[in-house]
Structure 1
């Protein structure tokens, strides 16, 4: 991942995950309908597979978003897709530690995420390395995406800080934390 990063200048937002209720893509598509009214030159690319693909495609069609909100199958080169994107959106209803968020941040993609239980708040500091949105607030999600679209300098700054923050979640960084914990526990005996 080191060295490979987006330049934040493309007019693409990205979301990645299973087409399942947990991932909240129905909420993201509703928010994108608001975004697209003001920014029709931007595209939302959603990568995934799953049971809700047909339902999500119907929602896209009903909202007239078929040209700027596109469902894609999973791809083996997702890193290339992150690098072709300027904004990453996590619309999940719940998460553990969202790996796709960490991946997007590692590639310098400016993240926007709902404050769903667990996950995003552990990785994103609002306004520092991404933007957090009240869980389920579709209008606020649309506004925050629009804000990043309209402020390329902020997108770039958040993307750079996200890239730095993602380093805290590498295997090496986590291993050092475990090692320090074990050493501390051993020294208290």
Structure 2
């Protein structure tokens, strides 16, 4: 056991600076741990296609590959196994993985006793498994709900690659229990901390509903537009303000036009000032098909906005107390989400009560509390 409570902590992710919640979380935790005196290093496997601006960082970052590793598919049947080109790509990829994993081994071996390796995404775990992690605690994380993971290729990889780590962490107890039933007896949970706690909350005076998130299928902006098509005629003086960018932007804008919503929907693009975006609204809406422990909802509640959200993951109904600080609708039920929005948009007194309750309730995920829980976990796993 280490006498010095300060540790070497490595975050290993798909990339250092890809756009998305996992990256935001990783750098938030890296800053918090650095502030506590730990020595932090953030490592990515490859460079992303879409970069998130991170600003100046108080800790080093590294990326293993200069170019993306060769993509290979599963070898199905005799023909797949005999495909010489595919076999060559597989051999090149395997050799490259060993070469890059050796870089990780050098970093891990140079760490002080009590080092911790936090693998934030299961794809990155494929390289960590090939590295020398002897003497270090290895924690593997899944930042999405069990249900959402189950319909993706990540489900099998989590079961395969996280089975032998020191701890597999989900974001809620409910999801951890589901993974335990899959045979991962090392599963537990750790919620996200509040990304920020603005000194000045939203006054909730503007007739604006705010959405913040990538314009991708997961975030369900198509369902949000269908929802807004039901709400907007009843509230012609309200606007839906959508912050974010992504691969589906063009098709979503066409959908908006076809629904006749161009006069009430504002496409704001990506923003580096989320607190400012939230202060300009009175209600927050989450329309995702799947989530883990959504940072955007936490940010909105910290800004004193009541949320109307699809109950698409255990993390959502753990954060939002339905009827107290927000209103939940069944996942994918746009009519129900429209009714929840209508309720909040029609009643300023209700918006104010729920918004104030949201700002108070979300403080149970304060950064001090979550960092304390992480440090307790480090000590427990080192025994």
Instruction: Please indicate, yes or no, whether the TM-score normalized by the shorter chain is above 0.5.
Output: yes
> Of 237, 240, 243, which residue of structure 2 is paired with 1:41?
237
Give the alignment of 1:16-95 within 5 angstroms: 16-95=212-291
Q: Equivalent residue for 1:11?
A: 207
1:94–1:118: 8 Å Cα contact kept in structure 2?
Answer: no
Q: Where does structure 1 lack aligned partners over 5 or more consecutive residues?
A: none
Structure number with the higher helix fraction is 1
Give the alignment of 1:1-189 within 5 angstroms: 1-178=197-374
Shift of 1:68: 0.7
Tell me the distance in 2 between the aligned counterparts of 1:151 and 1:65. Answer: 23
**Which digits, 9 at most, give the CA deviation of each residue in 1:156-177, with x for residues without a partner?**
1111111112212221121234
Partner-residue secondary structure (3-state), 2:313: coil
Which structure's CA Rg is the greater one? 2
User: Of the two structures, which has the highest relative contact order with CA contacts closer than 8 Å and spacing of 6 or more?
Assistant: 1
Tell me the distance in 2 between the aligned counterparts of 1:170 and 1:96. Answer: 18
Tell me the distance in 2 between the aligned counterparts of 1:182 and 1:157. Answer: 39
TM-score (ref. length: structure 2)? 0.47
**Which digits, 9 at most, give the CA deviation of each residue in 1:137-185, with x for residues without a partner?**
10110111010011111111111111112212221121234456678x6
Tell me the distance in 2 between the aligned counterparts of 1:146 and 1:173. Answer: 35
Tell me the distance in 2 between the aligned counterparts of 1:94 and 1:118. Answer: 10
Shift of 1:24: 0.4
Tell me the distance in 2 between the aligned counterparts of 1:102 and 1:76. Answer: 17
Q: Where does structure 2 lack aligned partners over 5 or more consecutive residues?
A: 1-196
Q: Equivalent residue for 2:131?
A: none
